[in-house]
Amino acid sequence: MREDSLSPASITNNLETRFIGQRVIYHPRLASTMEVAKREARLGAAEGTVVIAGEQTGGRGRMRRVWLSPEGSLALSIIFYPSLVYLPSLIMLASLAVVRSIEAVTDLRSQVKWPNDVLVNGKKVCGILIESDVRREKVAYAIMGIGANVNLRISDFPDISSSATSLSDELAKDISLLSLTRCLLIEVERLYLALQAGRSIYEEWRDSLVTLGRKVRVNSGNITYKGVAESVARDGSLLLRHSDGSLTKVIAGDVTLHD
């Protein structure tokens, strides 16, 4: 096994976390880390359990889109049992953890495109998916899925080459997948504990957004909005200012940026 190879032992060994990543389920090849994590959560897996795949063959993003996770990618899901009040913050938490980890490991600066993409030099390098089971105002579980293009030659994937990039393409060298994974788990826990201690991560997340101040088109369900992304609310919603001066609060949607 190469020194940089992913395995439960290599990830958890001396990992400086209390619970995130202290239990790791690793599959060399897996259809979906989200589905395995959901199954584990329903069986009562410990909070912070991580499901990670060397290659993910049936991954998905928001709106049931396919998410490519070939070998060299990072594909993982983390199990949480949060209070309902923290649920809207998980997408902020995940994107901030990714931004911090990319900078710590590679020195690359990344930004967040609302609501769930992380960009490097204007191209998508990471996607985030939060899925939860809420019953009677109580969260049964929440799963945080993170998929990142780490050591990929994007030109090998012509369908996404115009809109996506990878960390290795940006730096013209391979990145330590193990180092990035361990750093990410540490940052996720640090931010989650900050939330539980009553500290706000909203300001840092807002300031990391590439979307604000830009002309955008937002597809939300069957409705398309156009305007300037003016701000974001503390619950993560996007505040869109239209040409007639009116303001729309968009809870979820897909954003296209325009110059």
Shared domain for 77 and 185, answered yes or no, is: yes
Half-sphere exposure of 228 (CA within 13 A, CB side): 9
For residue 41, the enclosing domain spans: 8-206
> Can you give the CATH number for the domain in which 215 is found?
2.30.30.100
Cβ proximity of 245 and 104 under 8 Å:
no
Nearest-angstrom CA–CA distance, 255 and 246: 19
Shared domain for 135 and 239, answered yes or no, is: no
- Per-residue pLDDT at 61 exceeds 60: no
Shared domain for 182 and 142, answered yes or no, is: yes
Question: Which residues pair with residue 77 across a beta bridge?
Answer: 51, 145
Q: Considering the domain boundaries, does residue 68 fall inside one?
A: yes
Q: Considering the domain boundaries, does residue 3 fall inside one?
A: no
Shared domain for 200 and 175, answered yes or no, is: yes
Alpha helix positions (H), the chain: 8-12, 33-42, 90-106, 167-171, 177-196, 202-207
More confident of the two residues 158 and 142? 142
Q: Considering the domain boundaries, does residue 165 fall inside one?
A: yes
How distant, in Å, are the alpha carbons of 91, 247, 257 from that of 250? 15, 10, 15
Q: Among candidates 79, 82, 226, which has minimal Cα distance to 145?
A: 79
- Per-residue pLDDT at 1 exceeds 50: no
Task: Taking residues 148-176, report their average pLDDT.
Answer: 94
Shared domain for 190 and 240, answered yes or no, is: no
Number of domains in the chain: 2
How distant, in Å, are the alpha carbons of 8, 27, 31, 57, 210 from that of 47? 16, 19, 22, 25, 32
Q: What is the pTM of this model?
A: 0.94
pLDDT by residue (tens digit) across 31-56? Answer: 999 999 999 999 999 999 999 999 99
Beta-carbon contacts of 25 under 8 Å, excluding residues fewer than 6 positions away, are 8, 36, 40, 49, 50, 51, 52
Nearest-angstrom CA–CA distance, 131 and 38: 9
**Whose structure tokens read 């090849």?**
29
- Per-residue pLDDT at 59 exceeds 70: no
Q: Which structure tokens are listed for 101?
A: 């980890």
More confident of the two residues 4 and 153? 153
Q: Considering the domain boundaries, does residue 1 fall inside one?
A: no
Q: What 3-state class would DSSP assign to 36?
A: helix
pLDDT by residue (tens digit) across 64-77? Answer: 555 668 889 999 99
- Per-residue pLDDT at 252 exceeds 90: no
Q: Among candidates 106, 112, 131, 121, which has minimal Cα distance to 205?
A: 112
Nearest-angstrom CA–CA distance, 36 and 86: 23
Q: Considering the domain boundaries, does residue 166 fall inside one?
A: yes
Lowest pLDDT segment from 1-15, 116-130, 219-233, 239-253? 1-15
